[in-house]
């Protein structure tokens, strides 16, 4: 049974992958959805976080694996791929960002998702603005925002050169981009495929923003399963 490792978004829990994990398990894959550590010593780079993920997999006896990274997890998954290329059977990037930047008000909304001083209604409005397409229900992500995790993960992104991870790939790559993603605009996925992974399969999904997983679960599960079984 092949193992699929699921790496969640910035400051978010592995439970965001519950639906996709269930769908993958139903077609014969073993899934490992990795919660981020509540804190991380020192000032880790993405390379340190990548090594920690592989250390956790080594402890579980996992040698080679498929990688699925969502949002921040796509950056970490690419760094894992860059540093441990021979371990990665395939690479799937959901909401691949890091090159084409969002608008300033979207950065503010993202930061406010982790602002513990906001009231619940104002907090939810920022989650809606930053992560969800118009008309989609942001209340499913009302909870789960881990501020300390966000801080060390964001710092790791800032101090790790983008060239260290941006172009990483393997023989099999899937990129899934949401057309209404305000944090990782769709052009990110198109640029990555055009410039770094021309062999990749690019799937663009309508009706989803950066959250993606709770917005279009069936479309994402179908794309990932078809890719992994193809």
Number of domains within the chain: 1
Residue spans of alpha helices (H) in the chain:
18-26, 46-59, 72-83, 104-112, 120-131, 147-159, 187-195, 217-229
Question: What pLDDT score was predicted for residue 47?
Answer: 98
pLDDT at position 119: 97
pLDDT at residue 108, as a whole number: 98
- Is residue 12 included in any domain, yes or no? yes
Taking phi over 0 as left and psi of -120 to 50 as alpha, with beta for the rest, 219 belongs to alpha
Residue 119, domain member (yes or no): no
Looking at the domain assignment, is residue 94 inside a domain? yes
Query: Could you tell me the CATH number of the domain that includes residue 162?
Result: 3.40.50.1820
| pLDDT tens sequence for the chain (230 residues) | 899 999 999 999 999 999 999 999 999 999 999 999 999 999 999 999 999 999 999 999 999 999 999 999 999 999 999 999 999 999 999 999 999 999 999 999 999 999 999 999 999 999 999 999 999 999 999 999 999 999 999 999 999 999 999 999 999 999 999 999 999 999 999 999 999 999 999 999 999 999 999 999 999 999 999 999 98
The pLDDT value recorded for residue 109 is 98
pLDDT value at residue 111: 97
For residue 131, being part of any structural domain is answered with no
Please report how the helices 147-159 and 46-59 are oriented relative to each other, as an axis angle in degrees rounded to 10. 120
Is residue 139 included in any domain, yes or no?
no
The pLDDT, as a whole number, for residue 133 is 98
Q: Is residue 138 assigned to a domain?
A: no
pLDDT at 169: 98
pLDDT attached to residue 224: 98
Question: Do the beta carbons of residue 47 and residue 73 sit within 8 Å?
Answer: no
Q: What is the pTM of this model?
A: 0.96
User: Is residue 43, in this structure, part of any structural domain at all?
Assistant: yes
pLDDT of residue 129: 98
| Structural domain for 177, as ranges | 3-101+145-229
C-alpha 70/C-alpha 96 separation (Å) is: 7
**170, part of any domain:** yes
């Amino acid at each position: 049974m092949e193992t699929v490792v699921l790496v969640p978004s910035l400051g978010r829990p592995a439970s965001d992958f519950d639906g996709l994990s269930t769908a993958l398990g139903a077609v014969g894959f073993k899934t490992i959805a990795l919660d981020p550590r509540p804190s991380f010593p020192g000032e880790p780079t993405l390379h340190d976080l990548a090594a920690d993920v592989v250390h956790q997999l080594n402890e579980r006896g996992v040698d080679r694996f498929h990688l699925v990274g969502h949002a921040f997890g796509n950056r970490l998954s690419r760094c894992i791929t860059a540093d441990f290329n021979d371990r990665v059977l395939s690479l799937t990037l959901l909401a691949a960002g890091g090159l084409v930047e969002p608008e300033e008000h979207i950065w503010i909304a993202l930061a406010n998702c982790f602002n513990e001083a906001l009231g619940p209604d104002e907090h939810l409005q920022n989650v809606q603005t930053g992560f969800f397409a118009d008309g989609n229900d942001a209340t499913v992500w009302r909870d789960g925002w881990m501020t300390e995790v966000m801080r060390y993960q964001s710092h790791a992104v800032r101090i790790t050169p983008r060239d260290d991870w941006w172009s990483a790939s393997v023989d099999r790559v899937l990129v899934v981009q949401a057309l209404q993603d305000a944090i990782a605009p769709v052009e990110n996925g198109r640029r990555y495929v055009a410039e770094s992974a021309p062999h990749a399969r690019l799937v663009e999904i309508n009706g989803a923003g950066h959250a993606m997983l709770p917005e279009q679960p069936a479309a994402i599960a179908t794309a990932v399963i078809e890719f992994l079984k193809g």
